[in-house]
Amino acid sequence: MVITLRAGTGQAEIDRIRERAESLGLRTFLTRGESRTIIACVGLVEPAHQELVGGLPGVESVVRISKPWRLAGRAASAGSTIVRAGDGPGAQFGGRELAVVAGPCSVEGMAMLRETALAVRAAGAGMLRGGAFKPRTSPWAFCGLGIEALEFLAEVRRETGLPVVTEVMDTRQVDLVAGHADVLQVGARNMQNFALLQELGRIQRPVLLKRGLAASVSELLLAAEHVLAHGNRDVILCERGIRTFETATRNTLDVAAVPVLKAETHLPVIVDPSHAGGRAELVAPLAFAAVAAGADGLIIEVHPRPAEALSDGEQSLAPDGFAELMARLRPFAEAAGRTLARPAAREAA
Amino acid sequence: MSAGGEARLEGLRAGIARLDESLIALLAERVSLAREVGAEKRAAGLPRLDPAREAAVVRHGTSLARGVGLDEEEVREILWRVVGLCRRAQEEA
C-alpha cells in the first residue's frame, strides 16, 4: 500500500499517519521527492486498512501496490534512488553522471592492481572493481586470493581514493568484505542466495546485485526486494547477459532489460558488457548500447596484460583499450542526457 | 489485571520511556561526533567511509553485547544501522 501525502503536510500529521499504519502491523518507509512525499507500507495489507489510513489529515491518496516488488517498484519511492559509494559524483549510481566501475576480474597481486587502478582512474573511471573471492564454474580454476586480495584492495583504495567494489560469496564473509570495500557485489551465481541477500540487507552498505545467468527481470527485482526488505535501501542492479541458444557470445546482453528495469524500479541499473559479450572487442559496442538504452553506469574488466590474466583474460580490456572506450563513450552519454567526468578533471581531483 | 499489576506495568513502561529518551540523546551525541569526524576527514582529504573502522566498531559492540548476555546477531544489526546513520550524517557535515 502506498500513501501519497498532500503538499505541505506537516511532521505531526506524517507521524500520525505512520503510527496508524504501524499499529495495523505494517512497516512504513517514507521518501521525499522533489514533487511528492510518499509512505510505502508493507506487510499483510487488508482492504480495510486503506480506509483506516485514508481518512487521516494530510493523506491525498492510498493505493494498493499491485506489483510483487513492493519496495523496489517505482510506486514505493518518490523519485529515483541515488546510491552513493563514495564522495564524488563519479562514485554515485543513479545520478546524472554515469557511474563507471573498472578493474581486473581477479586481484592477482598488489602491483597489477595498483597499475590497473591508476590507469582506469586516469581514463575517467570513478570506482575500482576487483575479485578477491571468485565463484568459478570449475573448482580447479583460479578462485581468487581471498583475504590477501581484500588487503590489496583496501591499500589501493587508500592510495587512489577510488571506492572499491568486490564480490561477497558467503554470509560468513560479509563483515570481512565490508571491512575492506565500499560496495559489496552479489555475483550472478548467487543472485538467489537468499541467506546472503538477507545478510546484506542488515548491513548498511551499497549492494551491487548481478542478474543471474538464467534469471528473469522479475526474479532480479524480487532478489533486490530481499535486500530492501531487510533494511538496506542501497541496491544497484546489474544486467550482465543471460544464457540463450546463441554461442557466438559468452552470454546474450539483454539490452531491453535496461529500459524495462528503469520503468519498473527506482533503483539504479548498470550493465556489465565484459561478461555479456565475453570478448574484448565486444565490450565497447555493448557499453555504448547500454548507455544509449538508459543504463546508469557500467562495470568493465580491465587488466594490464589481458593475455596473462588468471581469469577472464579474453574479455578484459587493456588500459589503452579502456581509455579509448571512455573517450568514445562520451557522445553516447551526452545523447542519453548523462555526463561523464573528463579524465583530466578526475585525475586533478 | 489487578490495580497493583497495572501500577507495576505503568512503572515499568515509564522506565522504558526514560531509557528511550537516553538512547535517543546518546544517538544524537554520536551523530554530532560523527559530523565532526566528517569535517576532520574532509579537511585531511580522506574518504567519508572507512570500511575497516566500521567493521571494527561493529565487532567491538558485538563483543560487548556478548559480555552482557544480549543476542549478538540482533545487536550487530542495530550497530550496522547506527554506523550507517552516522556515516550519512558525515555527508551533511
Q: Which residues contact A104 (CB under 8 A, 6 or more apart)?
A: A112, A113, A116, A129, A130, A131, A301, A302, A303, A309, A316
Could you read off the pLDDT of A296-317 as tens digits, one per residue? 999 999 999 999 998 888 999 9
ipTM: 0.79
Q: Is residue A148 helix, strand or coil?
A: helix
Looking at CA atoms only, how far is residue B78 from chain A in angstroms?
9
pLDDT above 50 for A349: no
How far apart (Å, rounded) are the C-alpha atoms in residues B7 and B2?
A: 9
Grid coordinates standing for A240? Answer: 550482465
pLDDT band at A56 (very low <50, low <70, confident <90, very high): very high
Name the pLDDT band for B93 (thresholds 50, 70, 90): low
Single residue among A18, A36, A66 that ends a domain in this structure: A66
A contacts of B49 (beta carbons < 8 Å): 86, 163, 182
The CATH number assigned to the domain holding A247 equals 3.20.20.70
Q: How many domains does the structure of chain A reveal?
A: 2
Is residue A218 located within the same domain as residue A273?
yes
Q: Each residue of A239-261: pLDDT tens digit?
A: 999 999 999 999 999 999 999 99
Q: Does B92 touch chain A (CB under 8 A)?
A: no
Q: What is the mean pLDDT of residues A124-129?
A: 96
Residue-level pLDDT at A348: 45
Please write the tens of the pLDDT for every residue from B10-38.
999 999 999 999 999 999 999 999 999 99
A182 touches chain B (CB under 8 A): yes
Whether A29 and A128 share a structural domain: no
Is the pLDDT at A42 greater than 90? The verdict is no
DSSP reduced 3-state for A309: coil
| 8 A C-beta contact, residue A124 and residue A100 | yes
Mean pLDDT of chain A, nearest integer = 92
Task: Establish if A133 belongs to a structural domain.
Answer: yes
Kindly state whether residue A169 falls inside one of the protein's structural domains. Answer: yes
Per the model's pLDDT, the better-predicted residue between A36 and B12 turns out to be B12
Q: Which of B52, B54, B76 sits opposite A154 (nearest CB)?
A: B52
Residue among A169, A172, A239, A168 at smallest CA distance from A205 = A168
A208 and A294 fall within a common domain:
yes
How do residues A66-119 score in pLDDT, each as one tens digit? 888 989 999 888 889 999 999 888 899 999 999 999 999 999 999 999 999 999
> Is residue A294 domain-shared with residue A184, that is, in the same domain?
yes
Q: Taking CB atoms and an 8 Å limit, are A231 and B81 in contact across chains? A: yes
d(CA A204, nearest CA chain B) in Å: 5
Residue A307 lies in a domain: yes
Of the two residues A272 and B46, the one the predictor is more confident about is: A272
Domain co-membership, A36 together with A182: no
Q: For residue A46, give the CATH number of its domain.
A: 3.30.70.1140
Smallest CA–CA distance from B51 into chain A, residue: A179
Buried b (16+ CB within 10 A) or exposed e, A176-205: bbbbbbbbbbbbbebbebeebbbbbbbbbb
pLDDT of residue A237: 98
Question: Using CA atoms, how far apart are residues A24 and B74, in angstroms rounded to an integer?
Answer: 24
The shortest C-alpha distance from B38 to chain A (Å) reads 11
Can you give the pTM of this predicted structure? 0.90
Percent of chain A exceeding pLDDT 90 equals 77
What is A229-286 written as a DSSP string? HTT---EEEEE--B--S--SSSSB--TTHHHHHHHHBSS-EEE-HHHHH-SHHHHHHH
Contacts of A204 in chain B (CB under 8 A): 80-81, 83-85, 87
pLDDT score for A344:
52
What digits encode the pLDDT tens for the residues A181-233? 999 999 999 999 999 999 999 999 999 999 999 999 999 999 999 999 998 99
Q: In this structure, are A62 and A87 located in the same domain?
A: no
Nearest partner of A81 among A266, A295, A205, judged by Cα: A266
A35 falls within a domain = yes
Rounded to an integer, the average pLDDT of A151-159 is 96
Residues A223 and A98 reside in one and the same domain: yes
Searching chain B, which residue's CA lies closest to the CA of residue A85? B49
A44-48: Cβ within 8 A, 24+ apart: A45/A1
**Rounded CA separation A20/A199 (Å):** 29
Q: Which of A182, A203, A231 sits opposite B49 (nearest CB)?
A: A182
Question: Looking at the complex, does the CB of residue B49 fall below 8 Å from at least one CB of chain A?
Answer: yes
The reply to whether residue B91 touches residue A163, judged by beta carbons under 8 angstroms, is no
Who wins on pLDDT, A346 or B65? B65
Question: Looking at the domain assignment, is residue A342 inside a domain?
Answer: yes
Mean pLDDT for the stretch of residues A284-305: 97
Same domain, A124 and A59: no
- Strands A297-301 and A269-271, by their bridges, are parallel
Does residue A73 sit within a domain? no
A251 and A105 fall within a common domain: yes
Q: Do A154 and B47 touch (CB under 8 A)?
A: no
> B56 to chain A, minimum CA–CA distance in Å?
8
Q: For chains A and B, what is the number of CB pairs under 8 angstroms?
A: 43
Instruction: Confirm whether A74 is domain-assigned.
Output: no
Residue from A82, A84, A87 to probe the interface with B (highest B Cβ count within 10 Å): A87
State the residue range of the domain holding A59.
Answer: 2-66
Q: Count CB-CB contacts under 10 A for residue A112.
A: 20
Let me know the angle formed at the C-alpha of B40 by B37 and B45, rounded to the nearest 5 degrees.
120
Q: Among B41, B49, B90, which would you mutate to test the A interface (most chain A Cβ atoms within 10 Å of its Cβ)?
A: B49
Same domain, A51 and A175: no
> Which site among A156, A160, A180, A203 would you substitute to test the B interface, given the most B Cβ atoms closer than 10 Å to its Cβ?
A203
Q: By the 8 A CB rule, do A125 and A117 touch?
A: no
* Residue A213 covered by a domain: yes
Q: Same domain, yes or no, for A15 and A149? A: no
Mean pLDDT of A36-44: 89
> Kind and range of the H or E element at A32?
strand A27-32
Who has greater pLDDT, A325 or B73? A325
Asked whether the predicted pLDDT for residue A347 surpasses 50, the reply is no
- Of A161, A175, A178, nearest to B47 by CB-CB distance is A161
Considering the domain architecture, whether residues A179 and A305 belong to the same structural domain is answered as: yes
B41 interfacial to chain A (CB closer than 8 Å): no
Q: Which domains, ranges and CATH numbers included, belong to chain B? A: 3-92 (1.20.59.10)
Write out residues 183-242 of A within 8 Å (CB-CB) of B: 202-205, 231
